[in-house]
Structure 1
Amino acid sequence: MSNKICLNCGHSLSDEFCSHCGQKSNTERITFHSLIKNDILGSIWHVETKFFQTIKNVLFRPGKTAMDYISGKRIRYNNFISLLLILFSFNVLGLHFYEKFAPQETLAQSSDIKAFFSKYSKTILFVIIPMLAINAYFLFKKVKLNIAEHFIIGTVSLLGILILFLLDDIVSLIGLWKPISMIFNIIDKIIFGLFILFPAITYWNAFKDSYSNPGLLWRVSTFYVLMGLEISIISFILYEIF
């Protein structure tokens, strides 16, 4: 293999991948078999596996996932910012279908709140992450992470919230079927509780080895108080000015 050169950049090959541009060394002529196996099935399997693996890790070990990414273990995960935009789009789509199929009396109960968050969802989305990062930077100084690294943890926390929102949209849609509406209303409340707790779960999971339980408890509690005040102020400003 050492005598081969990369067909993409012309550098010498000594391994499975070119050390200069990253292209695979095995770039034989494209056949129908290789097209199906490598280009179509291989690409779909790689993208889907990585996507769902990232979703699973964000949901079940969000803090550890963020800290792994910060420490340099990144190849196993989808880019968090790209995933954030994808999930945000799915949530907008889910809300659209819920509003399309839900009875008018159901929508009327929360129309003002839904209309407000639907209108300013992008603003709220991109303000929450810096707020999470700045608050965590001052509350968790012992771990010696910079603002950008706290930004990653905040992004993972928001990813988890968007995943739960998407699950909630699906549950709400299924719950429109009257025979099972009571069961899905209970599930909806459980998901809402998880949504509220998810930032706490993220930071607890990330920093449980750096602080005692009482130390984490007062920091996370203070974190929630600060976030509640900041979100209330931002929502009030948006509501009053716009």
Structure 2
Amino acid sequence: MNQKSCLNCGHSVSDEFCPHCGQKTDTARITPKSIIKNDILGSIWHVEARFFNTLKDIIFRPGKTAMDYIAGKRIRYNNFIPLLLVLFSFNVLGLHYYEKFAPPEVLADDSGIKDFLSRYSKAILFIIIPMLAVNAYFLFRRINLNIAEHFIIGTVSLLGILTLFLLDDIVSLISLWKPVSKIFNIIDKALFAVSVLFPALTYWNAFKSSYTIPGLTWRIIVLYILMVSESAVIGLILYEIF
């Protein structure tokens, strides 16, 4: 086997990456072509491909994605916490531009929900995941996951919701274009319905091989009852405080 030394740390290497520092062994002379191909286009493609692969897996197989991540299969995914903040920022921007371009009568119809989300969005973001994690920890004890691992599943669930909300923001902006507003109004309602059901889809996808259909069904129903009850209590507390 051909052995050579890593140009960064001097460690003996025989593969594509140094096992000691992680640098690629292919460190040829830098040229204008290599900068464009590898450093610029390669980096952009790697970041974008990983980002969209992560979102795709979260939308179409959220529970499996969370369980793979917990099991250590993480190289194909963006870190979930920074991704959560990115999607949250995109949602804030989407809401901002919707409020900027929507006519006053449309904003008047949405004012209660929009105002609540804009005022308490950060609280909602940081409350949903712990609520999901704690409730699921007690409801799905057979899986033998710790609270931090349930936190990951809750994070994936919220990532899916934020992705759907972002698509909904885009659809809402497009729906301001009157000739196609009816079509996009239907899509808007469908996206909202899926976002409400997304935690159920996440836990079903994650645990469907570990429980019977009735056993998984009643646990998910109880999870929703707990989430709605706890959210109502938190909403009342926020209302009283502010």
Q: What is the TM-score when the length of structure 1 is the normalising length?
A: 0.97
In structure 2, the residue matched to 1:54 is: 54
2:13 equivalent in structure 1: 13
Question: Given residue 63 of structure 1, which amino acid in structure 2 is its aligned partner?
Answer: G
Offset at 1:61? 0.4
Shift of 1:112: 2.9
Q: Is the 8 A contact 1:16 1:24 kept in 2?
A: yes
* 2:204 equivalent in structure 1: 204
Confirm whether residue 214 of structure 1 aligns to residue 214 of structure 2: yes
Give the structure 2 partner of residue 176 of structure 1. 176
| Partner Cα distance (1:170, 1:93) in 2 | 11
What does residue 37 of structure 1 align with? 37
Equivalent position SS for 2:4 = coil
Q: Kindly indicate whether residue 137 of structure 2 is the aligned counterpart of residue 130 of structure 1.
A: no
Q: What is the root-mean-square deviation of aligned Cα atoms in Å?
A: 1.1
Distance (Å, rounded) in 2 between the aligned partners of 1:171 and 1:29: 47
Whole-angstrom distance in 1 between the partners of 2:61 and 2:156? 10
- Amino acid paired to 1:91: N
Contact 1:157 1:199 in 2 (8 A): yes
Q: How does 1:82-97 map to 2 (within 5 A)?
A: 82-97=82-97
Shift of 1:3: 4.2
List runs of 5+ in structure 2 lacking aligned partners: none
Q: Are 1:149 and 2:149 counterparts?
A: yes
Shift in Å at residue 179 of structure 1? 1.2
Matched residue count:
242
Runs of at least 4 residues off by over 4 Å: none
CA–CA distance in 1 between the matches of 2:230 and 2:91? 23
- Which stretch shows the higher mean deviation, 224-233 or 177-186? 177-186
Q: CA deviation at 1:14?
A: 2.1
Give the C-alpha shift of residue 57 in structure 1: 0.4
Q: Which residue of 2 aligns with 1:162?
A: 162
Q: Which residue is equivalent to 2:110?
A: 110
Q: For the residues of structure 2 that align with 1:37 and 1:226, how far apart are their CA atoms?
A: 52
